[in-house]
Every structure is written in structure tokens, then in C-alpha cells.
Amino acid sequence: MKSLILQTATRSLVAVLLLFSIFLLLRGHDEPGGGFIGGLVGAAAFALYAIAFDVPSTRRMLGIRPQMMIAIGLAMAGGAGVISLLAGEPYFGHLWYHTDLPGFGEIHLGTFLLFDIGVFLVVIGVTLLVILTLQEE
């Protein structure tokens, strides 16, 4: 069933949801939020698109197989721990990098961010793997 209203609304909602998911991901650095919740919102954007349009076009929009997304996400999350190991810290003993970025002021980047982006990708990947497979059945 194709609904013009839903399709029109989805076109603009997807962009907002994806932006919001990235906002949540970055916000999780210091405040409530993070990769998991951000990933769920991001997956919701694609799921909505799949409901309004169809699965093949959603897969095209995604541009990457969900399995691959899970693998890359796991590699980033696990790799964040390995970086700490290489630096002589315990696994997941997070490292920080402080810098002054003109226009933003001081920012601190940690291996934690890498871990969170990994979680973000894994959550989107797993959710979409389930939803898209079920919808194709």
C-alpha cells in the first residue's frame, strides 16, 4: 500500500531523524545519549523509509549490506580497545586527545568516540538486518 502522505512526510522526516541520531550519538559523549540510542533512531529512519517505499530502494539508500555495517561497527568498537592496548593501557582503558579547534574552542577526542560510533553502526546494522529481512518475507 502506497500512501502519498506518508511518502511525502517520510522524505523530510528521514533527514531529520538521521541528523537527530547523529546528534544523540555525539551528545552521548558527555550527556545522556550515545551510540545505542542514536543507532536506534537512525535505524528507525531507514525502517520508516522501508515502510513508506519498499525494501529494495531502502537497501539502495543504505548503500551497504547490514552485515557489513555490523562488521565495520564491531571492528571499530573492538579496535578502540586495541588502540589502548597498543598504548600500554588495559583493554578499553580510554585515551584522550585534547586540542584547540579554531571557532569551537577546546575539544577533547577519546577512543571512546570510536567505540560509540562502532556501537552506533552495529545497532543500525542489526536492527535493519532484522527489519528488512522480515519485511522481505
Partner 1 sequence: MSHDVLVALPLVIPLATAVIAMLFYNSRESQRVISVIGATALFAASIALLIAVREDGVLVSEFGAWAPPFGINMVADLLSAIMVLMTGLIAFTVSIYSLATMDPRRESFGYYPLFHILLMGITGSFMTGDMFNLFVWFEVMLIASFVLIALGGERPQLEGAIKYVALNLISSMILLSAIGLLYGVAGTLNFADLGMKLQDVDEPWLVTTIGMMFLVSFGIKAAIFPMFFWLPASYHTPPIAVTALIAALLSKVGVYALIRAFTLVFTQETSYTHQILLVVAGATMVTGVLGAVAQYEVRKLLSFHIISQIGYMLVGLAILSPLALAGSIFYIVHNMVTKTNLFLISGVSYRLQGTYELKELGSLYRYHPYVSTLFFVSAMALAGMPPFSGFMAKLTLVRGSLEIEHYAIVAVALFTSLLTLFSMTKIWTEGYWTPSKAEENDELPPGVEDFPGWTSNMIAMFVPILILAALSVGMGLLAQPVISLLIETAEQLLDPSVYIEAVLGDES
DSSP 90: P
**From the CB of 34, what's the least distance to partner 1, in Å?**
15
134 C-beta neighbours (distance < 10 Å), count: 9
Please give the helix or strand (H or E) that residue 7 lies within, else none: helix 4-27
- Give whole-number Cα distances, 77 to 66, 89, 99, 132, in Å: 16, 16, 23, 24
**From the CB of 65, what's the least distance to partner 1, in Å?**
7
Measured from the CB atom, is 48 or 72 closer to partner 1? 72
Residue 111 CA to its chain's centroid (Å):
16
**From the CB of 71, what's the least distance to partner 1, in Å?**
4
**From the CB of 18, what's the least distance to partner 1, in Å?**
24
**For binding to partner 1 (CB under 8 A), which residues are involved?**
65, 67-68, 70-72, 74-75, 78, 81-82, 84-85, 88-94
Measured from the CB atom, is 71 or 109 closer to partner 1? 71
- Give whole-number Cα distances, 59 to 8, 13, 17, 103, 126, in Å: 19, 18, 17, 38, 14
**From the CB of 33, what's the least distance to partner 1, in Å?**
19
CA–CA distance, 108 with 6 (Å, rounded to integer)? 41
Measured from the CB atom, is 14 or 80 closer to partner 1? 80
Measured from the CB atom, is 22 or 65 closer to partner 1? 65
